[in-house]
Structure 1
Amino acid sequence: MDAVWYVAYGSNTDTARLRCYLRGGRPAGALRAYRGCRDRAAPRDSRAVVVPGSVYFATESPVWGGGRAFHDPDAAGRTLARAHLISAGQFRGLAAQEMYLDAGRDVDLGAAVRDGRLALGGGRYETVVCLGSLGGRPMLTLTAPWRMDAVAWRAPSAAYLRCLARGLTGAGCWDATVVAAYLAARPGAAGHWTPGAVRDLLVRP
């Protein structure tokens, strides 16, 4: 396959953040710089999508502080996301950076499409999940192998939530009110963030 839809439900919904994965660099508010992919081209297309499952926040992000977003495709609910059309090589390079692996490691995307998911390890973002297809091309995302209720939830940081909110509103399908309510209700954020507080993140300098 020459191209896939990378379904981003976390910080890579933000095109500026995704650009750092593709071209290299450090996103605003993050503590880590990324080496980029061999193919540094911009996505061919980006679209707002809604996929089954639930997003939740857990573990501790060394990049942002606070909980990281994960997607449980088997959980009830719906996930607001952004699908970026990138080359298969770019997806492999992006996956390697998420997993802190060597950029040259091969990822059998065909197996992920055929079987629905491909576990490359037991840690975060080490499972490739196929969420169907769009325009004849597979929709792939990265998440953890565990179920949403099998891990302790953790509240995300303001910088991380701002990045997610900016990315989802930038998709052009949902306004700030919808996105803020959605993010504030995610497990891990619920009880720590209100819709109003999340919306304020979009207007603060």
Structure 2
Amino acid sequence: MERLLWYVAYGSNLHAARLDRYLRGGRPPGGLRTYPGCRDCRPPRRTVAGAIPGGVYFAGESRAWTGGMAFYDPELPGRAAVRGYLVTVEQFADIAAQEMYRPPGADLDLIRVAAETGRATLGPGRYETLLRVGVRDGLPMLTFTAPHAASEVEWTSPAPAYLGMLARGLREAHGWDVDRTTGYLADRPGVAGRWAPVALRALVMGLTADTRNHFTTVVGPDGRLLVGVPGQGWKLVDRDGTTRPVPLPAGADSEYGPQPVLIDDAGTIHGAVHPTEPVAGRYQDVPAVWRCH
């Protein structure tokens, strides 16, 4: 009989498609790392949204995303929004191993220790500390984090692509709207005081697919984000959350705005524009290439 537990996600794995890269392998959109996947790549048996005492903060430098990484500190005030995935003990061991930059494939005795005592530490590295954060349906709820408290490290700003994964996950798991998602993220140490409010709101609106506002977003290979809305222009969101306007390419209609497709390594935007004058008697988008800066 398979042994099950709840894996409690509070960071980018709030987004189910992101967790799927740990289960089945592959590279998530906007990420720099390809994951080998689990021995058992089946999807979770169940998922539930919830909140646990404590908080989420951002620190360090992610090798997969650049920018700060999300960690959980049970001693922070408030409650952390989480998502529980019902997985096998073996799957949790493989997910944890990949987070620890260890090869999956070995069972972790720490899982039993954490389930029984509430805490177990494999080493000093990030995500090498397992915590039991509750019990549901008679099964332990486990997560992993850093061994230190939020107050013991310098907070760092998360990259747009990474923070966008959290925004997607919060909307997907909790059904939050733009205001609630933005407010929650804005209060996290590492985001507060570092991400400009307009940049954070633009990120959340764009990556949570709020079609009422017709936002379009493109993530560049260096983690920068291009965010725009018809009639309001475009802004480039840098890795530290600061923004700057992006001038329209020549001949573009400012009401409709350009339609970026990708940003290359040189910072060149490739896409299409809606012309101010008809082309061959028709108003249709035409290819365009322009610079971010």
For Structure 1 versus Structure 2, the TM-score category normalised by the shorter chain is over 0.9
2:128 to 102, 126, 129: 126
Deviation at 1:103, TM superposition (A): 1.7
Q: Identity over aligned residues, as a percent?
A: 51
Matched, 1:198 2:210: no
Match runs of 1:80-91 below 5 Å: 80-91=81-92
Tell me, in whole angstroms, the C-alpha distance in 2 between the residues paired with 1:195 and 1:45: 35
After the TM superposition, which residues 16-55 of structure 1 pair with which residues of structure 2 at under 5 Å, given as runs? Answer: 16-55=17-56
Given the two structures, how large is their TM-score scaled by the length of structure 1?
0.95
Aligned with 1:48: secondary structure? strand
Whether contact under 8 Å (2:51, 2:82) holds in the other structure is yes
Q: What is the Cα deviation at residue 200 of structure 1?
A: 1.6
- 1:87 and 1:158 map into 2 onto residues whose CA distance is 32
8 Å Cα contact 1:9/1:81 also seen in 2: yes
Higher relative contact order (CA 8 A, sep 6+): 1
How many residues end up aligned between the 2 structures?
205
Post-superposition CA distance 1:124-156 (Å, at most 9, x none): 000000001112111100100001100000011
| Structure 1 residue 174: Cα displacement | 2.3
Q: Given that residues 177 and 195 in structure 1 are in contact (C-alpha distance below 8 angstroms), is that contact kept between their aligned partners in structure 2?
A: no
SS of residue in 2 equivalent to 1:140: strand
Give the RMSD, CA atoms, in angstroms. Answer: 1.3
Is structure 2 residue 156 aligned with structure 1 residue 154?
A: yes
- Asked whether the 8 Å contact 2:39–2:105 carries over to 1, the reply is no
Larger radius of gyration: 2
Unaligned runs of 5+ in 2: 207-215, 218-293
In the alignment, does 2:95 pair up with 1:110? no
TM-score (norm 2): 0.68
- Separation (CA, whole Å) in 2 of partners of 1:76 and 1:172: 20
Q: Distance in 2 between matches of 1:176 and 1:48?
A: 17
Whether 1:136 and 2:149 are equivalent positions in the alignment is: no
- Relative to 1, partners in 2 of residues 1:175 and 1:96: Cα closer, same or farther, differing over 3 Å? same
In structure 2, how many angstroms separate the alpha carbons of the residues matched to 1:195 and 1:13?
A: 22
Report the 3-state secondary structure (helix = DSSP H, G, I; strand = E; otherwise coil) of the residue aligned with 1:171: helix
What code does the residue aligned with 1:44 have?
Answer: R
Aligned counterpart for 2:187 among listed residues 161, 185, 188: 185
Letter in 2 for 1:192: R
Residue 50 of structure 1 deviates from its aligned partner by: 0.2
- Deviations along 1:31-88, whole A, 9 cap, x unmatched? 0000000000011111111001110000000111110000011222210111111111
CA separation in 2, counterparts of 1:55 and 1:19?
Answer: 22
**Contact preservation (8 Å) 1:181, 1:195:** no
The question of whether the paired residues in 2 share the 8 Å contact of 1:162 and 1:198 is answered with: no
What is the CA-CA distance between 1:5 and the residue it aligns to?
0.9
**CA apart distance, 1:194:** 4.5
Residues 37 and 104 in structure 2, CA contact (< 8 A), matched pair in contact too: no
Structure having the higher helix fraction is 1
Q: Distance in 1 between matches of 2:140 and 2:176?
A: 24
Structure 1: state its 5+ residue gaps: none
| Alpha-carbon distance in structure 2 between the residues aligned to 1:201 and 1:163 | 10
For 1:161 and 1:147, the matched residues in 2 are separated by: 21
